Structure 1
Amino acid sequence: MADKKTPGVNPNSNIRSVAIGAAFLMAMAAVGPGFLTQTATFTGQLGANFGFAILICILVDIIVQLNIWRIIIVAGKRAQVIANDVFPGLGYLLSFLVAVGGFFFNIGNIGGAGLGLNVLFGISPENGAIIAAVIAISIFIVRNAMRVMDRTVQLLAVIKIGILLYILWVTKVPFQAAATHAFVPTKVDFYSIVTIVGGTVGGYISFAGGHRLLEGGAQGVKDIKYVNEGALTGIGIASVIRIMLFLAGLAVVMAGFKLDPANPAASIFQHAAGNFGYKFFGLLLFASGMSSTLGSTFTSTSFLDYAVSDQAGAVFKRYRGSFIIGFIAISTAIFYFVGNPAQVLVLVGALNGFVLPISMAILLVASHRQSIMGGQYRHPRWLSWTGWIVVVFMAYAGVRTVMGLF
């Protein structure tokens, strides 16, 4: 029921502050190293036409986040518990899909942070990844870890936006071409749409903010206002960063420069501002890798919690630190011995695009179950209809993508 208390909730939390923290967590998870790589790759391939994929991504983001945050908070339960309420065992499938996708993304996230340190200080990417992993683990194991995580992610967001503002300032941005092709593209590439949507709002990312807000104490219909504040703030922040990075890449591509396929995102900054820009890219990559590592780790491990009582919640809380350390440590070890996460980030983004319609469909079914949402709640029709449109569109785009591979 919607009024049942969720394990681990602190009733004295400042919910509005938590909502802002959830907004930044979701936004920064959505614009991590994967997004940098995907945006640079597809901008190099599609030019201004990639603006259409960015526009679709933002529209899908609005629909997905408002639906998922609202359903989680009104039900007062984590997404996997809701899924089990819809159909026994469905929550375990959802946890598997989200956690596995989050794990592979985390290999790229921690690798991205390591590569950022490599650009900044010349240390090996592998050793940089170990340093980033130690920092991330330290944030999670300190006292008031959730608050420290929130503040860290907010600081990293400021760094990202500042760097992108500088790059746009020193480049000649083709605003007209970007705007025209965003609304009237001359070519629609479904693979780019599935990948960019999956990489920025699919998989674990769509649940990051909702689970953080739930853990911070939000629960029930009375807290919907915090859902709207947090989700719309996060969507706004993520959208601004998406557009800024796309415009920076488009400015470089339309100036006649060819992006390096081995590291397309770095090419954007290097062509725009020389070696100074390349160093800025290193800082941006480190900030992106760290913020997404925090978001991926928090959200993926939260899908291991099926507690529906205070006693069960206490058991999970006791072992949560071990889960977090293991999640980050194994991700780092795989990057250390395998390396080169760029292709993994693009591929996992596409796979997460398939997870999105499945997870959305489950929660949309739950939104109309009184046993889950409570007898007084009615899910807004416009959210239901647009949510199902996203499910159908992403399923269609996913099928088109697979057919295009053969």
Structure 2
Amino acid sequence: MKPINWRPLLGAAFLMATSAIGPGFLTQTAVFTAQLGASFGFIILLSIILDTIVQLNIWRIIAVTGLPAQQIANKLFKGLGYFIAFLVFLGGLAFNIGNIGGAGLGLAALFGIDSQYGAVISLLIALAIFIYKEATKLMDIFAKSLGILMIALMLYVAITSAPPLREVVIKSLAPTHFDFTALLTIVGGTVGGYITFAGAHRLLDTGISGTSQLASVNRGAASAIGIASIMRILLFLAAIGIVNKGFNLDEGNPAASVFKLASGEFGHKLFGLVMWSAAITSVIGSAYTSISFIRSFHPLVEKFQQHFIIVFILISGLIFIRFGQPVKTLIIAGALNGLILPISLSVILLASYKRKIVGHYKQPSWLTITGIIVILLMSWMGYKTISELLN
């Protein structure tokens, strides 16, 4: 067993976590806290378990094979990798449009500028990162720095809102309310679509692969979920503190109202900084991971990976600037990303039992069984979502 090198592991963990912590992540957490109260803590605990199962399955098999997900899929069934790459790429592009819009809103709240100008400024910052020669190293530093900043700011807001900790602990273990849709939504929002592969693909780029590295991979996957979960728990505590005092969250922007009600106008500025940090890191994570799904298909994409990432971000930004946030597209992309998780996880589990792919490696039975449970749950969510869209 090789010694653990935490630098690349934390880079991959923060990339995955900050990709998950986007505008939708903030909004969903605030909305479900308002609906379920302290009982939402139980759903968060369940989601952490399910998220960890997904990440351990996917990170381990990608590390063992030393191959990105699309190549594993192509080895399993010819052409399947192209299909999954198409889904991830399309979903990543659609959500990147929303993330750029979220970054614009963040700067608008922080500096009082027009959100369109904020989106353009954010777009230029994201492009600058990948224009830099050592882009991936800068990406890791950027994700770590803003990830730590978001957690620190969220901790401050959680403390100032004075949450009812005793009630939270009790109802997190013995809830009085439960919403199955809430559970599936936040699981999909944390490890759905491109997000589930962001950290694992980053590990491959740093040279971490093979069975000898599984201990490191396990810690990286657990760290990624831990970082994202800390942020969700702190936002939940901040929101429940506000709700417990009898305040109603603004339906138009529930996450912003948590910050403002907890810390006044200063809190509103903090929301702008957190929103921008969440959105811009999601832009970077989405672009990097989406291109990682197509770069193995042609030598030119591999050679000019940074250029393709720049074009991906630029197209996302231009679509937002020209048309604004296309709500219908984002809704469809949400359904699409909800389906990507059960499809991709099914592929990974099937591949884990093919000797031509994993060699003599044996996936732990408990990971396979729990992985199948997650697939069934997420498939049901995808079915329900598509049914609602078609009706």
TM tier, smaller: over 0.9
| CA gap 1:351/1:264 in 2 versus in 1, 3 angstroms | farther
**Seq. identity, %:** 50
Partner of 2:230: 240
Which of the residues 26, 35, 49 maps onto 2:25? 35
| CA gap 1:276/1:343 in 2 versus in 1, 3 angstroms | farther
Alignment of 1:148-227 (within 5 A): 148-227=138-217
- DSSP-derived class of the 1:219 partner: coil
**Residue-pair matches, total:** 387
Shift of 1:246: 1.1
| CA gap 1:162/1:320 in 2 versus in 1, 3 angstroms | same
Q: Which amino acid aligns with 2:224?
A: G
Partner of 1:339: 324
Is the 1:37–1:346 Cα contact (8 Å) retained in structure 2? no
Shift of 1:349: 4.4
Q: Which moved more, 1:36-45 or 1:58-67?
A: 36-45
Partner of 1:356: 341
Shift of 1:252: 1.1
Partner of 1:319: 304
Is the 2:87–2:336 Cα contact (8 Å) retained in structure 1? no
Partner of 2:371: 387
Q: Which moved more, 1:343-352 or 1:121-130?
A: 343-352
Distance 2:30 2:138 in 1: 31
Q: Which moved more, 1:328-337 or 1:153-162?
A: 328-337
Partner of 1:3: none
Distance 1:368 1:379 in 2: 7
- DSSP-derived class of the 1:306 partner: helix
- DSSP-derived class of the 1:195 partner: helix
Distance 2:154 2:331 in 1: 22
Shift of 1:402: 5.5
Is the 1:118–1:128 Cα contact (8 Å) retained in structure 2? yes
Is the 1:28–1:292 Cα contact (8 Å) retained in structure 2? yes
Aligned-residue Cα RMSD (Å) equals 2.1
1:373 paired to 2:363: no
- DSSP-derived class of the 2:296 partner: coil
Which of the residues 34, 50, 71 maps onto 1:44? 34
Distance 1:180 1:96 in 2: 44
Shift of 1:22: 0.2
Q: Which amino acid aligns with 2:240?
A: L
Q: TM-score, normalised by structure 2?
A: 0.93
1:73 paired to 2:57: no
| CA gap 1:164/1:346 in 2 versus in 1, 3 angstroms | farther
Shift of 1:190: 2.8
Shift of 1:403: 6.0
Shift of 1:345: 6.3
Could you tell me which runs of 5 or more consecutive residues in structure 1 were left unpaired when the two chains were aligned.
Answer: 1-13
Alignment of 1:72-111 (within 5 A): 72-111=62-101
1:305 paired to 2:289: no
Q: Which moved more, 1:298-307 or 1:14-23?
A: 14-23
Partner of 1:10: none
| CA gap 1:338/1:51 in 2 versus in 1, 3 angstroms | farther
Shift of 1:367: 0.6
Q: Which moved more, 1:108-117 or 1:61-70?
A: 108-117
Is the 1:360–1:391 Cα contact (8 Å) retained in structure 2? yes
Shift of 1:24: 0.7
Is the 1:270–1:278 Cα contact (8 Å) retained in structure 2? yes
1:272 paired to 2:262: yes
| Partner deviation per Cα, 1:316-358 (whole Å, 9 max, x = no partner) | 2333233212211121122223335788767744542322111
Q: Which amino acid aligns with 2:295?
A: D
Distance 1:185 1:401 in 2: 26
Q: Which moved more, 1:349-358 or 1:253-262?
A: 349-358
Shift of 1:94: 0.8
Distance 2:318 2:184 in 1: 29
Distance 2:326 2:35 in 1: 20
Q: Which moved more, 1:199-208 or 1:42-51?
A: 42-51
Distance 2:270 2:257 in 1: 12
Is the 2:301–2:308 Cα contact (8 Å) retained in structure 1? no
Distance 1:350 1:195 in 2: 10
Q: Which amino acid aligns with 2:380?
A: Y
Partner of 2:273: 283
Distance 1:296 1:211 in 2: 12
Distance 2:326 2:251 in 1: 13
Partner of 2:135: 145
Distance 2:217 2:42 in 1: 28
Partner of 1:127: 117
Q: Which moved more, 1:94-103 or 1:79-88?
A: 94-103
Is the 2:335–2:386 Cα contact (8 Å) retained in structure 1? no
Could you tell me which runs of 5 or more consecutive residues in structure 2 were left unpaired when the two chains were aligned.
Answer: none
Is the 1:194–1:350 Cα contact (8 Å) retained in structure 2? no
Partner of 2:12: 22
| Partner deviation per Cα, 1:288-322 (whole Å, 9 max, x = no partner) | 11111111111011111235xxxx54x22333233
| CA gap 1:262/1:347 in 2 versus in 1, 3 angstroms | farther
